[in-house]
Every structure is written in structure tokens, then in C-alpha cells.
Amino acid sequence: MSKSRGDKTLQQEVHGDNLNDFVACLSAGGRLKQHAEHDAVRKPERQINKFTRYPDKNRFFNAVLFSQGSIDLQPEIKEDCSYINASRLPCPGGALIMAQAPMKETILEFYRLIWQQQINTIVCLVNLEDREQCYPYFERKAGKKITCRKRFRVRTVAVRTEGKHIIHYELKIENYLEKGNITSRVLNVISILGWEPDSQFDVKVIVSAIHSADALKRIVPAADNGKCNLRQATFPNRYTTQPVPMLIHGCSGIRRTGVFALAYLFSKQILGKRQINLLGMIESVRMVRYGVLRQKNMFYLLLECIVSLITETGLVKPGSDAHVHAVQVVKQCYKNSSGKSAKRKVKGAGKGTAEKLDTSQKSTKKNKNKQADDDDEDNEDGTSTRNSTNTKASKETTGKDSGKSGKSIKKKKEKK
């Protein structure tokens, strides 16, 4: 048994209640206290009843959505669905929404989420060229537009490239069912290119995207009769008194989305409080969104982002011994975790290929034996047919010969 300070074990460090005091507390507390204790017991419990109720609206059956922290859409017409695979995280300056990429079956709910939550910034971490990973919800060329079921229209106003891995899209979204004066809004999309799930990526790109998204998030869009202009978020928002949220999505909304969302939250802590609560923040996010940081390499990538964000504040000098050593430790941990996962993959692939080879060899042997049997049958059939034809030919020839000999005998008798 593990020990703590002195000779006391960890179990002995836990202070328990006296039995008499426990019984007296039960009798004196009454129902209200028992209800409160039961609520405290059930508090960490998380439900997935919404997730199981709409299986066709989820991209993966094993990427569940917790009902706690999920977003309910308000129906605009009778046929509207209230479910979408998205979770809301509280954040200073506006909440973060972590969502899965839209599918063909959920594209309308995705537009409704953008409109109802009054989102003005989206961070896209998925390959937009792959329709299987993300159903297109805007055109990537300026001047093009997409219309969804005669309810929403999204037009691409401008496209700007920042380096090799970041593209900014300025969009205009219109809601045909909106009954108010404002029927269109400005929407900014930051697309990060080349970041594959569960793989190492350039931390500078992630940090640059965080700063760009934070700058766009502070700008509240206003549209009057189709004329869009920008206002600072310090003024009262004409749509809501709450700061506008930011939407982050990958393919499943868990792996890359979790790393980016946590890095953004830690950037707020670092710049605002000059300190971070690493495990507490990760635990709070994992309580809302399932599967965040389930892979070690994603955790190490997050640590590398945090180190980069800290050096920007000037608290740690870039290139100092502490900074270099911290980066080396994180990269070494990342290298070890990726090496182990690669070995597992190779072993699994080796087993699979060995099994495939065994099955293929067995099948080839069976095919060879079968072919040999077929050849034997063909040979036997061929010889028998040849023998039969030979016997028939011999009979015919003997019959002809016998007929000729009979005629010659008759002629000889007539001459005599």
C-alpha cells in the first residue's frame, strides 16, 4: 500500500464520520439534506439520451454527445429538428462551440446553429475538399454562393491566404425565414490546412489562427438592409446582450477541435491571469465534450502550444534554457508516444498481412488442387472421348472393308 508523509497510509489520511454522529446527522438533517446529498452524488453523471435518439444526425456512433452542455435548436417550422452534435463551453469574451462537421443530413441544422447562436467566426480544421469529412457549407471561390432548401443562402465575398496553412473566407449568410429587419450577417471562416487527426502539426500555425480568431471574434457584425458594417464588441450588441460565441469544428469535433479549443482557453488564462490551471481546464472541457485529449500525442501537442503562448507574453524568454528544455521534453514525449503507436500499427498490420498471406496461400493451394483435379477430369474425359472416337472409326473402317470384300467375292463368282 502506498504511503504518504510519515508512517500514515493514504487511507488513514481520509477523515471519516463517527457512527453516532452519522446517525444523528441523518435524523436531524431531514429530507432536504438527503435530497441535497443525492443531487451531489448524481452531479458528475452524464447522459447521452439525445445522442441515441437521433442516430442519423451523428457522423460516428462511438463519438457520443453528452446531453449536459449540448445545444438545443429552436424550431422555425414544424418539421425542424432540435438536435445537433454540438457542445457549448463557457469562455471569457464569448462561449466556444465544439461541433462535428456538417453532413448532407445535417447541413440545415448547421446553418440554423450559426444563425441562432449568432456566430460570426468559424474555425475549420478539416479538409474542405473531402465531402465525406465535411459537407460543403460555402464556396471557396469569391462571388460563388450556396443555397440550402430555399431557407439559407451563403455567398463568398472575399478569400485571403495567410501563409501556406491558413485561408480566411469572408461570407455573407442570409436567412429567408427571418421576419425581423436584419436578414443577413457577416460570417468569417478561418480554414487551417494540412492538420491531420492525431498527428504532429506546426504550433506556430495554431497560435496564429488563435490570434486571428480572437481578433475576428471581438468584431460584432451588423447588417442593415443588406449593407454590412463592422462594430467593436465593446458596444452593446444589437442582437444579444451576451458576447457572441465562436464555432470550432473538425470532422468529429473531438480531436483537433479539442486541442484548438483548449489552446484558445489557455491563451485567455495566460494573457488575463498570467497563470494556467492545466488539469482543471482539461477536466472541465472533457466533462462537456466526450473524447477530448484521449490520445497522448494530442496532449503533448497542446503542451507545446501552451509553451509557445507563454513565450509570447515575455514571462519566459524565447531561446532561454528553460524554454529550450521544455520544448525538448515535450517533443521527446511526443516522439515516444508516436513511436509506440506506430509500432502497434505495424504489429497489427503484420498480423493482418500474415493472416492474409495464410488465407491467400490456402486459397491458392485449393485453387491449384481444384485446377489439377479439373485438369485430370478433363484429361480423363478427353482420353475416353478419343478412345470412343477411335473405336467408332475402327468399326466404320472395318465395316467398309468388309463391304468391299463382299462385293469382290460376288464379282469373282459371276465371272466363274
Range 240-256 average pLDDT: 86
Band of residue 204 on the pLDDT scale cut at 50, 70, 90: very high
| 409: in domain | no
Q: Could you tell me the three cell numbers for 379?
A: 484429361
From the CB of residue 192, how many other CB atoms can be counted at a distance below 10 Å? 21
Specify the pLDDT at position 339: 61
Range of the domain at 236: 49-293
pLDDT > 80? residue 400: no
Band of residue 44 on the pLDDT scale cut at 50, 70, 90: low
Q: Give dist(CA 125, CA 237) in Å, integer.
A: 28
| 65: in domain | yes
pLDDT > 80? residue 190: yes
Task: Tell me the per-residue pLDDT of 336-352, one tens digit each, with 9 for 90 and over.
Answer: 776 665 555 545 444 44
Task: Tell me the per-residue pLDDT of 142-162, one tens digit each, with 9 for 90 and over.
Answer: 999 999 999 999 999 999 999
Range 309-330 average pLDDT: 86
| 243: in domain | yes
Specify the pLDDT at position 198: 79
Q: Give dist(CA 43, CA 137) in Å, integer.
A: 37
| 127: in domain | yes
Q: Could you tell me the three cell numbers for 161?
A: 491566404
- Which residue, 211, 239, 222, is CA-closest to 187? 222
pLDDT > 70? residue 227: no
Length of the chain: 416
- Which residue, 266, 264, 267, 256, is CA-closest to 291? 256
pLDDT > 60? residue 391: no
| 367: in domain | no
| 305: in domain | no
Specify the pLDDT at position 39: 73
- Which residue, 193, 200, 242, is CA-closest to 217? 242
Specify the pLDDT at position 184: 92
Residue found by looking up cell 445545444 in the block: 71
CATH of the domain at 165: 3.90.190.10
Q: What is the largest CA-CA distance in the chain?
A: 152
| 34: in domain | no
| 258: in domain | yes
Which of the residue ranges 97-106, 209-218, 403-412 would you say has the lowest mean pLDDT?
A: 403-412
For 43, phi then psi, to 5°, come to -60, -45
Which of the residue ranges 70-74, 251-255, 364-368 would you say has the lowest mean pLDDT?
A: 364-368
Number of domains observed in the structure of the chain = 1
From the CB of residue 202, how many other CB atoms can be counted at a distance below 10 Å? 15
Residue found by looking up cell 449593407 in the block: 227
Q: Report how far apart, in Å, the C-alpha atoms of 133 and of each of 129, 139, 162, 251, 340 are.
A: 9, 16, 23, 5, 27
DSSP state of 204: H
